[in-house]
């Protein structure tokens, strides 16, 4: 899988969590609830990153791209 996703407007979104800009990770509350309280910060982040979905914002058009755990990407544009 490449490090870039092409937005529907043609803009490029960098999908590398550690090199890209404007990338967020969304996780279901149950994932967070399932992490033991005694987990280290590294263990906590590992769980969130491995079980979350990437959310990226296109700097060209403002669309939000969500890359699911299955690798499928969905695009959403704010209504005017």
Residue 24, SS3? strand
Structural domain total, the chain? 1
pLDDT at res. 36: 94
Supply the range of the domain harboring residue 59: 4-76
pLDDT, one tens digit for every residue, the chain (80 residues): 578 899 999 999 988 887 767 789 999 999 999 999 999 999 999 999 999 999 999 999 999 999 998 889 999 998 87
Neighbours of 55 (CB within 10 A): 15
**Could you identify the residue written with the tokens 């279901």?**
28
CA–CA separation, 74 and 47 (whole Å): 23
CA–CA separation, 55 and 75 (whole Å): 10
Q: Are 54 and 66 in contact (CB under 8 A)?
A: yes
pTM above 0.85, yes or no: no
């Amino acid at each position: 899988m490449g490090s870039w996703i092409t937005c529907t407007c043609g803009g490029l979104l960098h999908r590398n969590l550690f090199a890209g800009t404007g990338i967020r990770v969304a996780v279901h509350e149950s994932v967070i609830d399932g992490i033991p309280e005694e987990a280290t910060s590294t263990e906590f982040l590992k769980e969130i990153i491995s079980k979350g979905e990437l959310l990226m914002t296109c700097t060209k058009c403002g669309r939000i791209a969500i890359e699911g755990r299955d690798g499928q990407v969905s695009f959403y544009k704010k209504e005017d």
